[in-house]
């Protein structure tokens, strides 16, 4: 199972400008599988992504907008992207600046559908 995730994550991190990607458990914010460049702290990234996704779900639920399937947090030094295809796992990626995010988004949405 984890080997399958690794292949998926390696495909993502081969895209230009991607600093890392991981599969995260929503419930406890722990790393399920990761492929990260040096300097990215996997456990922190997993915890922060899960918390952010949880907050966003809470907000979307309060507004009656349904379940979020993709988040994109854009910042001055890069972007945090989170795709959710089921209630248990998140696919997370960190991109540097000047990354073609449209392509990355499509890849992540496609891959997240295979998360089980």
Cβ proximity to other proteins: between 5 and 84 the closer is: 84
Decide: is 106 part of the binding site for other proteins (CB under 8 A).
Answer: no
Number of residues that bind other proteins (CB under 8 A): 41
Run of H or E including 107: helix 101-112
Residues 6+ apart with CB under 8 A from 16: 99, 100
| Ranges within 54-93 binding other proteins (CB under 8 A) | 54-56, 58-60, 62-80
> Considering the complex, what minimum distance in angstroms separates the CB of residue 40 from other proteins?
8
User: Residues 6 or more apart from 53 whose CB is under 8 A from it?
Assistant: 26, 68, 71, 82, 84, 90
Identity of the residue, 7 or 58, whose beta carbon is nearer to other proteins in the bound complex: 58
Binding site for other proteins (CB under 8 A): 28-30, 40-41, 43-45, 47-52, 54-56, 58-60, 62-80, 94, 102
């Amino acid at each position: 199972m984890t080997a399958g995730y690794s292949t998926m994550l390696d495909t993502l991190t081969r895209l230009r400008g991607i600093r890392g990607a991981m599969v995260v458990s929503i419930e406890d914010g722990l790393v399920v599988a990761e492929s990260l460049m040096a300097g990215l702290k996997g456990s922190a990234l997993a915890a922060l992504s899960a918390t952010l996704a949880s907050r966003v779900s809470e907000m979307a639920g309060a507004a009656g907008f349904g379940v979020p399937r993709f988040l994109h947090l854009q910042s001055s030094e890069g972007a945090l992207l989170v795709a959710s295809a089921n209630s248990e796992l998140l696919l997370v990626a960190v991109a540097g600046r000047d990354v073609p995010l449209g392509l990355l988004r499509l890849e992540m949405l496609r891959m997240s559908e295979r998360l089980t």
